[in-house]
């Protein structure tokens, strides 16, 4: 059933998503600092401690931080139901997640794996506190249509990815000696990026692309087939040993990601409003990266033996990871943040003017929260950072410059969001004073 519309009566307090959104860019800055400090060796191997620290700062610190904040916002809005626990749950998740990520990353960076015995309970608590109330909502029959359908799969994928990640962390810390599933690392990566990130981006895009970019809706049929194909492929890759079936699963997974990318780009091309919108370019960059990454994953899986040396194979793996994490997920999230933060700010301020309509006219326009120049520069910086990251991976040169560019890229986003949040707070204060008088 296609949802009837967004239910905005159940929106949580703006502080809930904003604390996650305002933290994430600075985790990205930390990732860039690691790149800068470890410039000599970071791209030497996919097992390099600096690279592992940087990857987790991006995947947990930036991507998951924003996605968790967005889930607190989008699930109630789509389903019309509040996530139990509200602000208390969000605050606990935010604190536990920040502490858990920092212990994990410091543990990786200084190879102080004993720190994982702190990181494991902290991250486990963060995700349990997040997932339990959410699961109590998602297992019920709620509204939200195609988006919630994909988000349910995304949450399951997150659960599996976290479980596998914690097993690996416990291994590092010497807390667990469990052979368990072979390829734990590949599955952890697959469920995290192919499952959690891709499925959640799919679910969210079914709403935000048609709404913010005024495009036709995704077809309901495809909106269900694609996440089902992604999730089923990941299940086959996890539990089936037959190499032919595994090969088919990789093919289906990559084709589903590519199809999603092509459909979304075609929808964006059919935008009904032809006014320039730089945030649509972030979607283009992200979706093109997804299509490229899906092709590279197929090359890795089916033609792994063709690489001339282990060194080149490592470069190829790292390059694919960069395109998927930085090119796809980070780009899409950067674009969405610059749309969602002004929208939420304006929406919350509107509602505070309910008793005094004259105040509505005094509110800053949505475009004032993030003026067009900010996303324009963000796009240039981000595109340059992506290209330079790829050059640095292949050549091993310009890594320091790349680190500096990444610092500017994430700091620019952090300052843009902080500026928007400040404008929201000062306006909310002014409106509250008017309402009191």
Partner 1 sequence: MADEFILDAREMAPPEPFDKAIEILQHMQPGQYLRMLHRRVPYPLFDFCSALSLDYSFRETPAADFEIIIHFACDLETLRREGLL
Q: Which of 412, 415, 414 is nearest to 384 (CA)?
A: 412
**Cβ atoms < 10 Å from Cβ of 280:** 18
Residues 6+ apart with CB under 8 A from 374: 338, 412, 416, 419
Distance CA 253, CA 381 (A): 31
Of residues 269-298, which lie at the interface with partner 1 (CB under 8 A)? 272-273
- x/- mask, partner 1, residues 364-393, rule CB under 8 A, reads --x---------------------------
**Minimum Å distance from CB 4 to partner 1?**
6
Of 176, 214, 394, 398, the residue at the interface with partner 1 (CB under 8 A) is 214
**Cβ atoms < 10 Å from Cβ of 355:** 9
**Minimum Å distance from CB 380 to partner 1?**
23
Q: Is 301 in the site for partner 1 (CB under 8 A)?
A: no
Looking up tokens 């499952």 gives 195
Between the CA of residue 215 and those of 54, 265, 270, 273, 401, what are the distances in Å?
36, 11, 6, 8, 38
The DSSP code for 143 is: S
Q: Is 4 in the site for partner 1 (CB under 8 A)?
A: yes
Q: Which tokens sit at 434? A: 């008017």
Length of the chain: 437
Q: Is 305 in the site for partner 1 (CB under 8 A)?
A: no
Backbone angles phi, psi at 379, to 5 degrees: -65, -45
What three-state secondary structure class fits 39?
Answer: coil
Stretch binding partner 1 (CB under 8 A), from 4-12, 109-117, 166-174, 259-267 = 4-12
> Which of 303, 355 has the CB closer to partner 1?
355
Residues 6+ apart with CB under 8 A from 403: 32, 33, 35, 36, 37, 39
- x/- mask, partner 1, residues 234-273, rule CB under 8 A, reads --------------------------------------xx
**Minimum Å distance from CB 289 to partner 1?**
25
Of 99, 167, 211, 225, the residue at the interface with partner 1 (CB under 8 A) is 211
Residues 6+ apart with CB under 8 A from 362: 430
Of 9, 136, 380, 415, the residue at the interface with partner 1 (CB under 8 A) is 9
Residues 6+ apart with CB under 8 A from 14: 344, 345, 348, 424
Burial class (CB within 10 angstroms; exposed 0-12, middle 13-18, buried 19+) of 243: exposed
Between the CA of residue 58 and those of 65, 99, 119, 269, 436, what are the distances in Å?
9, 15, 16, 29, 43
Q: Is 56 in the site for partner 1 (CB under 8 A)?
A: no
- Count of residues of this chain found to bind partner 1 when the rule CB under 8 A is applied: 25
- x/- mask, partner 1, residues 166-205, rule CB under 8 A, reads ----------------------------------------
- x/- mask, partner 1, residues 339-368, rule CB under 8 A, reads ----x--xx--xx--xx-x--x-----x--
> Which of 279, 320 has the CB closer to partner 1?
279
**Minimum Å distance from CB 349 to partner 1?**
10
Stretch binding partner 1 (CB under 8 A), from 7-15, 32-40, 150-158, 246-254 = 7-15
Of 213, 281, 284, 315, the residue at the interface with partner 1 (CB under 8 A) is 213
Q: Is 141 in the site for partner 1 (CB under 8 A)?
A: no
Q: Is 424 in the site for partner 1 (CB under 8 A)?
A: no
**Minimum Å distance from CB 352 to partner 1?**
11
Distance CA 189, CA 183 (A): 10
Of 113, 118, 212, 377, the residue at the interface with partner 1 (CB under 8 A) is 212
Q: Site residues (CB under 8 A) for partner 1?
A: 2, 4-9, 210-214, 217, 272-273, 343, 346-347, 350-351, 354-355, 357, 360, 366
């Amino acid at each position: 059933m296609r949802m009837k519309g967004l239910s905005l009566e159940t929106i949580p307090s703006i502080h809930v998503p904003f604390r996650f959104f305002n933290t994430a860019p600075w985790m990205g800055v930390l990732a860039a600092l690691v790149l800068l400090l470890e410039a000599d060796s970071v791209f030497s191997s996919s097992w390099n401690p600096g690279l592992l620290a940087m990857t987790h700062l991006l995947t947990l610190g930036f991507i998951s931080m924003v996605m968790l904040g967005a889930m607190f916002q989008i699930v109630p809005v789509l389903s019309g139901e509040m996530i139990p626990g509200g602000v208390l749950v969000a605050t606990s998740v935010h604190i536990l997640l920040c502490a858990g990520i920092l212990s994990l990353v410091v543990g990786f960076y200084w190879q102080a794996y004993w720190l994982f015995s702190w990181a494991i309970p902290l991250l486990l608590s963060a995700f349990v506190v997040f997932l339990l109330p959410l699961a109590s909502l998602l297992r019920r029959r709620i509204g939200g249509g195609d988006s919630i359908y994909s988000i349910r799969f995304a949450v399951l994928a997150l659960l599996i990815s976290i479980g596998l990640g914690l097993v690996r962390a416990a291994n590092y810390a010497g807390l667990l000696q469990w052979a368990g599933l072979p390829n734990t690392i590949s599955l952890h990566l697959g469920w995290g990026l192919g499952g959690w990130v891709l499925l959640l981006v799919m679910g969210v895009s079914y709403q935000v692309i048609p709404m913010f970019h005024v495009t036709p809706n995704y077809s309901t049929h495809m909106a269900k087939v694609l996440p089902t194909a992604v999730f089923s492929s990941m299940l086959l890759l996890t539990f089936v040993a037959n190499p032919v079936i595994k090969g088919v699963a990789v093919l289906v997974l990559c084709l589903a990601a590519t199809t999603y990318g092509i459909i979304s780009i075609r929808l964006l091309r059919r935008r009904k409003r032809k006014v320039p919108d730089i945030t649509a370019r972030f979607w283009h960059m992200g979706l093109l990266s997804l299509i490229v990454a899906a092709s590279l994953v197929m090359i890795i899986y089916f033609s792994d033996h063709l690489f001339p040396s282990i060194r080149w194979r490592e470069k190829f793996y790292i390059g694919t990871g960069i395109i998927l994490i930085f090119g796809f997920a980070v780009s899409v999230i950067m674009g969405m943040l610059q749309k969602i933060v002004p929208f939420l700010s304006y929406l919350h301020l509107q509602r505070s003017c309910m008793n005094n309509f004259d105040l509505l006219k005094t509110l800053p326009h949505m475009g004032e929260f993030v003026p067009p120049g900010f996303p324009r520069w963000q796009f240039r910086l981000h595109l340059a950072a992506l290209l330079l990251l790829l050059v640095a991976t292949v050549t091993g040169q310009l890594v320091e410059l790349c680190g500096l560019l990444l610092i500017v890229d994430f700091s620019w986003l952090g300052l843009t969001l902080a500026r928007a949040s400040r404008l929201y707070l000062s306006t909310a204060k002014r409106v509250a004073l008017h309402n009191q008088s």
